[in-house]
Amino acid sequence: MIHKTAIIEPGAQLGRDVHVGAYAYVGPEVVLGDGCVLHHHASVEGFCTMGKNNEVFPFAMIGGKTQDLKYVGGKTGLKIGDNNVFREHTTVHCATKDGEFTVLGNNNYLLGSTHVAHDCQLGNHIIISLGAVLGGHVVIEDHAIIGGATGIHQFCHIGQYSFIGGLVKVVQDVLPYMLVDGTPAEAKSINTVGLQRAGFSEEEQSLLKKAFKLIYRSGLNRSQAMDAIRPLTDVNGRIADILLFVQDSSRGIH
């Protein structure tokens, strides 16, 4: 299912049942897994490997050269898992340093005009809404949702099951399970709706609410708040996730 106007460069590797639409482009170092779909005018280039059943919509450009001014050459790449969707005008760039990769996992949905910069590391089941942009080296954990037109500063770390509202300026790390909104971003509550949809028990949600109040509403500094929530550590590891996240944070937390 390759349209006669599509350009497939020599060296590109296409799996079974791949569809490439009119005027689409596939570069010479691209590997497309089984069942991938490139709609008309979609581009996949660079040293880019895609898994199975990914879908790239018109005018998206996946695997482009990093925009990082520190780039000095070498073979940099992009690794993408299975079942990801890249809507119209989305851009995802390769890493900056030789031998390194920007990475996206599985089942992610990137809406129109979103941008994933060099060296970002995205997990699974992430939604990035219309017009949101990620600076370089951003890490987003599983099941996070990023609201429309939000900007995330380079090197920020976004925790699992977190929710970031629209038009938000994110310049520090966002704790797992939290809802963040405003410009600059501010933690407002736990991500109640997201946690309910994900099947978190009432007990787990209650525990996370207690942790939220200790961290953000008690007047404690960061180390004091971590000491205060440590006794709440639960068998499911939700509090342990928060403690480890804070321990590893380099930019501080919102």
Catalytic residue selected from 27, 46, 64, 136: 136
Contact criterion met (CB below 8 Å) for 167 and 183: yes
Alpha-carbon separation of residue 154 from 26, 121, 171, 214, 250 (angstroms): 29, 12, 8, 28, 12
Alpha-carbon separation of residue 146 from 34, 127, 161, 183 (angstroms): 29, 6, 11, 14
Distance CA 81, CA 101 (A): 13
- 136 as an active site residue: the answer is yes
Q: Rounded to 5 degrees, what are φ and ψ at 236?
A: -85, -5
Q: Rounded to 5 degrees, what are φ and ψ at 23?
A: 65, 15
Catalytic residue selected from 39, 115, 118, 254: 118
Catalytic residue selected from 119, 173, 181, 241: 119
In total, the chain counts a number of residues equal to 254
Q: Which amino acid is at 144?
A: A
Task: Evaluate the CA torsion angle 28, 29, 35, 36 in order and state its sign.
Answer: negative
The DSSP call for residue 54 is -
- The residues that are catalytic are 118-119, 136
